[in-house]
Structure 1
Amino acid sequence: MQKYESDCHQPDCLWKRFREGDTQAFEQLMKRYYTDLFNYGARFTGDANLVKDCIQDIFLLLWNKRHTIGDVQYVKTYLLTALRRKLKKEKEKLRIQYVEDPFIFESGFDAPLTAEQQMMMEEQLKEKILSVRRVLSQLTARQQEIIYLRFYMEREMTDIADIMMLNRQSVYNLLHDALKRCKAICGQMELVPGLSMAAFVFIPLIF
């Protein structure tokens, strides 16, 4: 097992071996991408079981069609796109509405400070995160999605275009409009003194 992992740990190698029927490679792919897929799927619905079922269905379909599936350049992008389409299809069946505020607030703080200093910094961090969360909640579903993909998942614009099924120019326009909207909202809000676009460094903590 150790030799296997050292010889084949890159996505393209795992994908190649999976297509050849290697069960270990298939398991490695599932372990590597499951969390990212679940977190991405949770942006569309609050039904965790639905997201899990869709992910399971995707991997089951992949295994059943492993001999006919071709090479993919970006495995993660391929899987995210498949999940997005699957969720859309299932939601249309169940008539599930998009969750307007899907952001999960969970943060922690660990630093060698006094109890008083730590409490003060935690409160400041919570205030900024809460403010950014409120800004993001005022965006459209697609604006929320592109910010999630770009700043949390750190996907390239070409990948985002594939995942969201848009052309590249539309992706740039959507991101530009989303950030412009965020900036405008920041200028209107007085939730935290001095709130600006710089506060969006906390986006990874929100998701």
Structure 2
Amino acid sequence: MPFSNTVTFKDLTINRLWEALRSGEKSALEAIYKEYIKDLYSFGMSLHADEAIVKDAIQDVFIDLWNYRAKLCSDVVVKQYLFKSLSNRIQKELGKNARRSSLHWLTDQEPSVSSIEDELVQNQAETEITGKMYGALSQLPVRQKEVLQYLFFEKLSYEETANLLEINIRSTYTLAWKAINALKKAITVLGLIIFLF
């Protein structure tokens, strides 16, 4: 079900491709894949750090789209449908493998090193802070990571996020609050680290 009353040319094109896919046109599946593969990859990697699992999950999503094309609903927001399908696939895989997921929201940039002692100390502090924050993010349950991804990176509303997760808005607020609260605790610890340096 569309979440926005604003329909763009791109939306119309994607909706036509979706209908063509439902009618059995393989070229429509390929066009949808090309349109969303980068977004799906980024989203998948934000939920789980294992690239092989994410790529396999994306492939499975598109295989299912083709195999069950006749049963697809016509009234969907395609990008959100794909995100939800990918999230379900990844969570299923994580449950099957009984592995904890990790998160790639922080960059792996190395701090610049100079010969000045103050900069070395500052860089060491930043590296420790990045590590602590990464650790805090990676400890969040997948559902909380997903809420943060939808709300803050995909810029969806709480209503849209609730619809994607198939939960009520109150539960969405609760999940977001728990995730943010956990990160706030980590930031408090980071503040102490900064103070010590």
Distance 1:133 1:89, change over 3 A: closer
Amino acid at match of 2:175: L
Separation in structure 2 between the aligned mates of residue 50 and residue 136 of structure 1, nearest angstrom: 19
Matches for 1:125-140 after TM superposition, within 5 Å: 132-140=133-141
Separation in structure 2 between the aligned mates of residue 127 and residue 12 of structure 1, nearest angstrom: 47
Amino acid at match of 1:15: W
Distance 1:68 1:134, change over 3 A: closer
Which range is displaced more, 131-140 or 29-38? Answer: 131-140
The offset of 1:130, in angstroms, is: 5.4
Amino acid at match of 1:12: N
Is residue 193 of structure 2 the alignment partner of residue 163 of structure 1?
no
Q: CA offsets, 1:110-129, max 9 Å, x none?
A: xxxxxxxxxx8xx6987875
Amino acid at match of 1:14: L
Distance 1:178 1:24, change over 3 A: same
Matched pairs, number: 177
Is residue 45 of structure 2 the alignment partner of residue 48 of structure 1?
no
Separation in structure 1 between the aligned mates of residue 88 and residue 152 of structure 2, nearest angstrom: 21
Counterpart of 1:199? none
Separation in structure 1 between the aligned mates of residue 181 and residue 88 of structure 2, nearest angstrom: 28
Any idea what SS the aligned residue of 1:42 has? Answer: helix
Distance 1:44 1:150, change over 3 A: same
Matches for 1:167-182 after TM superposition, within 5 Å: 167-182=168-183
Distance 1:135 1:48, change over 3 A: closer
Separation in structure 2 between the aligned mates of residue 138 and residue 64 of structure 1, nearest angstrom: 35
Amino acid at match of 2:41: F
The offset of 1:82, in angstroms, is: 1.4
Distance 1:52 1:24, change over 3 A: same
Is residue 92 of structure 2 the alignment partner of residue 89 of structure 1?
yes
Runs of 4 or more consecutive aligned structure 1 residues displaced over 4 Å after TM superposition: 123-132
Distance 1:186 1:53, change over 3 A: closer
Counterpart of 1:31? 34
TM-score (norm 2): 0.69
Separation in structure 2 between the aligned mates of residue 97 and residue 32 of structure 1, nearest angstrom: 30
Any idea what SS the aligned residue of 1:67 has? Answer: helix
C-alpha contact (below 8 Å) 1:77/1:162 kept by paired residues: no
